[in-house]
Amino acid sequence: MTLIPRTLAEARQWFQDEGIAISDWSISRGFNPALVYAVLQGRRKCVRGQSHRIAVELRLKQAPVDSTHAS
């Protein structure tokens, strides 16, 4: 099942709707809270590294397909 990516506004709204603190979510997943805030504000391109992993977990981007296991 492929999930439709969220917009930045939808991701921010999700935190509010669920009553989850962005800093708590960040720390529980091993992310720097300042970097998560930067992603949610659109100040990071999320092309690689931790910002990319944050975007994938927030459903801002689709998870990459693992080509090593493709048939």
Per the confidence metrics, is the pTM higher than 0.85? no
Quote the domain boundaries for residue 31.
8-62
Q: Count the domains in the chain.
A: 1
pLDDT digits (tens, 9 = 90+) for 2-43: 677 899 999 999 999 999 999 999 999 999 999 999 999 999
Q: Taking CA 40 as the corner, what is the angle to CA 51 and CA 42, rounded to the nearest 5 degrees? A: 80
pLDDT for the residue 5: 85
pLDDT digits (tens, 9 = 90+) for 49-60: 999 999 999 999
Q: Is residue 51 part of a domain?
A: yes
Q: Is residue 44 part of a domain?
A: yes
**Contact, 37 vs 27, CB < 8 A?**
no
Tokens 């296991």 belong to residue: 69
pLDDT for the residue 1: 54
Q: Is residue 47 part of a domain?
A: yes
Q: Is residue 38 part of a domain?
A: yes
Q: Is residue 3 part of a domain?
A: no
CA 42 to CA 44: how far, in whole Å? 6
Q: Is residue 70 part of a domain?
A: no
Instruction: List alpha helices for 1-71, DSSP H.
Output: 8-18, 22-28, 33-40, 49-57
The better pLDDT of the pair 1, 19 is held by 19
Q: Is residue 27 part of a domain?
A: yes
